[in-house]
């Protein structure tokens, strides 16, 4: 079959399509993914921190970039706790007993702030701080404190090792027993 219209070689001066007021291409909107985090201790979500007790907190992130870093602080009276790095959607923060001793009992917020982010990003996790004396095993708290006292191996004021003191006591007891035996022996003669 042959074409029914002969092609022209010369360009036409009038446009062939009328312009429209509507855009021909729809703008693309990137879906925003919200980043979130949950704090855990010993595999259980936490809502309680105990003043003066060392704590290891694991943050589980959703939609956080791998390798992203987050500054962690306890707010209302901000106490900087450190910086964590997301690896496989998780990050771990160890808080020393020395640091938790600075916590004030009451309602607070753990604030995680994205370091070097294009736009400021802050995540908030509500927590309650209690003093160690206010936490009981049946208070309904998610995390139960376990305070272990280290065995003291030095005397309080002198710094002398406990083993040295026991050795000295054994030596004195042996000397006293020897003196008693010699006295009896002399009195029998």
Task: Look at the pTM and tell me if it is higher than 0.85.
Answer: no
Band of residue 178 on the pLDDT scale cut at 50, 70, 90: confident
* Assigned token pair, 128: 């309650």
Residue 132 confidence (pLDDT) above 60:
yes
Band of residue 86 on the pLDDT scale cut at 50, 70, 90: very high
The residue extents of the domains of the chain are: 36-134, 158-189
Section 144-150 average pLDDT = 41
The pLDDT score that the predictor gives to residue 54 is: 94
Architecture of domain 36-134: Sandwich (2.60)
Which of 1-10, 56-65, 109-118, 141-150 is predicted least confidently? 141-150
Residue 46 confidence (pLDDT) above 80:
yes
Which of 64-73, 82-91, 139-148, 162-171 is predicted least confidently? 139-148
The pLDDT score that the predictor gives to residue 30 is: 55
């Amino acid at each position: 079959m042959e074409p029914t219209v002969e092609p022209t070689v010369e360009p036409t001066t009038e446009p062939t399509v009328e312009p429209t007021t509507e855009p021909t291409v729809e703008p693309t909107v990137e879906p925003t993914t919200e980043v979130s985090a949950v704090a855990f201790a010993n595999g259980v979500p936490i809502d309680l921190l105990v003043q003066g007790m060392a704590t290891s907190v694991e943050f589980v992130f959703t939609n956080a970039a791998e390798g992203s870093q987050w500054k962690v602080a306890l707010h209302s009276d901000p106490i900087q706790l450190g910086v964590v790095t997301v690896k496989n959607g998780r990050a771990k923060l160890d808080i020393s007993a020395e640091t938790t001793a600075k916590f004030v009992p009451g309602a607070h917020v753990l604030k995680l702030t994205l370091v070097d982010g294009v736009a400021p990003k802050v995540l908030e996790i509500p927590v309650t701080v209690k003093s160690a004396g206010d936490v009981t095993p049946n208070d309904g708290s998610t995390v139960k404190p376990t305070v272990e006292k280290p065995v003291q191996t030095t005397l309080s004021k002198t710094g002398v090792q406990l083993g040295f003191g026991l050795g000295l006591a054994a030596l004195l007891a042996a000397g006293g027993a020897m003196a008693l035996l010699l006295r009896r022996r002399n009195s029998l003669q």
